[in-house]
Structure 1
Amino acid sequence: MPDPTAGVGIELSDVTKRYPGQEHGAVEDFSLRVEPGELLMFVGPSGCGKTTTMKMINRIIEPTSGSITIDGEDVLSLDPNELRRHIGYVIQQIGLFPHMTIAENIATVPKLLGWSKARVADRVDELLRTVALDPGVFAHRYPKQLSGGQQQRVGVARALAADPPVMLMDEPFGATDPITRLRLQEEFRRLQADIGKTIIFVTHDFDEAVRLGDRIAVLSERSRIEQCDTPANILADPANEYVAGFIGRGAGLMRLALIPIGEVPLEAPDDSSAALGVQDSLRDALDLLVLTGGQRVNVTDESGSVAGSLTHAGISAALGAPRLPTGTAP
């Protein structure tokens, strides 16, 4: 398997899955490349084949035809169990072993790989801290003693335990309440910025795809790719009516959430205005303008000094500006 310390590419070429007795395949002629270190979101309605497509990568489901490679290596030539030990897998149901402690759950794959006890213990502590769970508090608890959000974080930690180059995530936050889900998304976005894994993430929630993904593959029946591009480009220019309908209303607000204030021109400051930082988004600025009823919001730079201000007109103008870089469609 590839070096786990480096991002690796995944390539699917003409991948098809047909079940006996079905007129059409569950997945037909699916081709896509995931770049090293990229977080690619699969978005589509229930039954479109997005989970089936993802599961063929780690051979939980065997493809009928086509090829799948990771870092140029044909996964169909590998022992399936050995393959899965080098691919992190996180599912909505989490799948923690109820009779094992949290530390034992996280240590499952490293132990199978023959890691020493000391190395396993160090890795468990490291990962619990990475997902914001104190090892001294949580390592020796059992899954039933954790909240749903805490269990989901342990599921992510377990998938990362052997430092796999690839992670597959199947609606991992779908079973949590909206507040917990948002927090998990923010934690995962922070985590991915640090670890840079190559990740395929299945979701039916377009807001989640926009919030997390480097690119989004919008899938329709039998995993047909309707559009694959950056969130900003899909929101600004849907490829067809299907994609536009999947996005739904609020595309402008979702686009604003992707644009940092620091990327747009500022006007002269107003001493009486509320302030945001250049790292905040245009959506944050619009929220503040609506809440305060003000005409403009001040913007502070990294040093805390007021760098300028932003008005409703400035926010609207930013939506009309070209967004780069353009993602690569399959």
Structure 2
Amino acid sequence: MPDTTTNTGVLTSLAAQQGGVDIVLDHITKQYPGQQTPAVEDFSMRVEPGELIMFVGPSGCGKTTTMKMINRIIEPTSGSIRINGDDVLSLDGNELRRHIGYVIQQIGLFPHFTIAENIAIVPKLLGWSKARIAERVDELLRTVQLDPGTFAHRYPRQLSGGQQQRVGVARALAADPPVMLMDEPFGATDPITREKLQAEFLRLQADIGKTIIFVTHDFEEAIRMGDRIAVLSDRSQIEQFDTPARILAEPANDYVRSFIGEGAALKRLALIPVTDARIGSADPSAPVVTVDEHASLREALDTLVLTGGPRVNVTRAGAVVGSIDHAAISAALGSEGPARRAEEA
């Protein structure tokens, strides 16, 4: 059994950490009593500070179990887990979890607590003052685009599913943890709400730079959100661990190809900005509809198809700066595409 002695120095370091931290899982195995095969077997991975890592795989492959061993909701049978070089198995589990944000699909808000009280749970456990907690609650509600004056004193039942999910994210961020664990947090929402929540979370992550492990069964979500994706098979065996662009361009085997499914080229286009393609001269005869230079090539292609024109003009801050055609989009999938950029990075 792991030593559960509280190491206050490590916890203090975690609490004070700005941005993200590195996480190392070294030969982690989880064997449940009475089961012949391990739930997770000899799993190793290094996550860099500020990375958003997606775990994707079939139901029962151990992705949630692997994630839960990081904050010791589930205790590993063997192996080591280190955050910023410190062994988390030497810490008190309850104290450790107060310094790691955790968001689940079912949200888990306390129904008889107000939204403000839900967000304040961990700061209260950490002994924050009332004034500091109130300030943090207001800050986080604004961060997730919920007006404190409107939502702070409501109860979870008075919010939509998407709003509740935002509160779940705010609660996980309450003590400003350097690590966040997210277990299919948007899976229970409808497609439109899920897409909005994904976009909002990516915007938020661009500002806060947490180290995040994100479990999903949705490969499209993994492509859209992840810095790197771990495609997992039975017992959390890693079939490929790489950037979305590299996985789409160079799947490691047939198993990974089965996750990508049809339309790999279109999925790759969604990862490439218009500025990565060769921009031609502005075309005065092009349709009035334009595409912004910060849009993806998938959006540019959609615009070309919808307008029926041979070219579409590209804008910067509303002004036309050039145009793009089908040939330029196709060329961007070649040597100048995402696989090459991922390798150079």
Contact (CA 8 Å) 2:198, 2:225: kept in 1 or not? Answer: yes
Q: Which runs of 5+ in 2 are unaligned?
A: 1-10
1:116 to partner: Cα distance:
0.5
Structure 1: how far apart are the matches of 2:229 and 2:91?
A: 29
User: How does the TM-score come out when normalised to structure 1?
Assistant: 0.97
Structure 1: how far apart are the matches of 2:93 and 2:285?
A: 64
- Secondary structure of the 1:307 match is strand
Q: Does the alignment pair 1:295 with 2:310?
A: yes
- Secondary structure of the 1:300 match is strand
Q: Does the alignment pair 1:115 with 2:128?
A: yes
Partner amino acid, structure 2, of 1:95: G
Q: Does the alignment pair 1:41 with 2:58?
A: no
Partner amino acid, structure 2, of 1:176: T
Superposition pairs of residues 199-210 of structure 1, within 5 angstroms? 199-210=212-223
Contact (CA 8 Å) 2:43, 2:237: kept in 1 or not? Answer: yes
Partner amino acid, structure 2, of 1:294: G
Contact (CA 8 Å) 1:296, 1:312: kept in 2 or not? Answer: yes
Aligned residue number for residue 60 of structure 1 = 73
1:327 to partner: Cα distance:
9.1
Structure 1: how far apart are the matches of 2:79 and 2:343?
A: 28
Contact (CA 8 Å) 1:230, 1:326: kept in 2 or not? Answer: no
- Secondary structure of the 1:320 match is coil
Aligned residue number for residue 171 of structure 1 = 184
1:263 to partner: Cα distance:
1.5
User: How does the TM-score come out when normalised to structure 2?
Assistant: 0.93
Structure 2: how far apart are the matches of 1:265 and 1:183?
A: 30
Aligned residue number for residue 342 of structure 2 = 325
1:277 to partner: Cα distance:
1.2
Matched positions, count: 327
Residue-by-residue CA offset, 1:113-143 (whole Å, 9 max, x unaligned): 0000000000000000000000000000000
1:262 to partner: Cα distance:
1.1
Partner amino acid, structure 2, of 1:219: L
Q: Does the alignment pair 1:263 with 2:263?
A: no
Partner amino acid, structure 2, of 1:202: V
Task: Using the aligned pairs only, state the percent identity.
Answer: 75
Contact (CA 8 Å) 2:19, 2:208: kept in 1 or not? Answer: no
Deviates more, 1:165-174 or 1:315-324: 315-324
- Secondary structure of the 1:11 match is strand
- Secondary structure of the 1:47 match is coil
Structure 1: how far apart are the matches of 2:93 and 2:209?
A: 25
Structure 2: how far apart are the matches of 1:6 and 1:317?
A: 37
- Secondary structure of the 1:122 match is helix
Change (3 A) 1:320 1:327: closer
Structure 2: how far apart are the matches of 1:102 and 1:327?
A: 45
Aligned residue number for residue 114 of structure 2 = 101
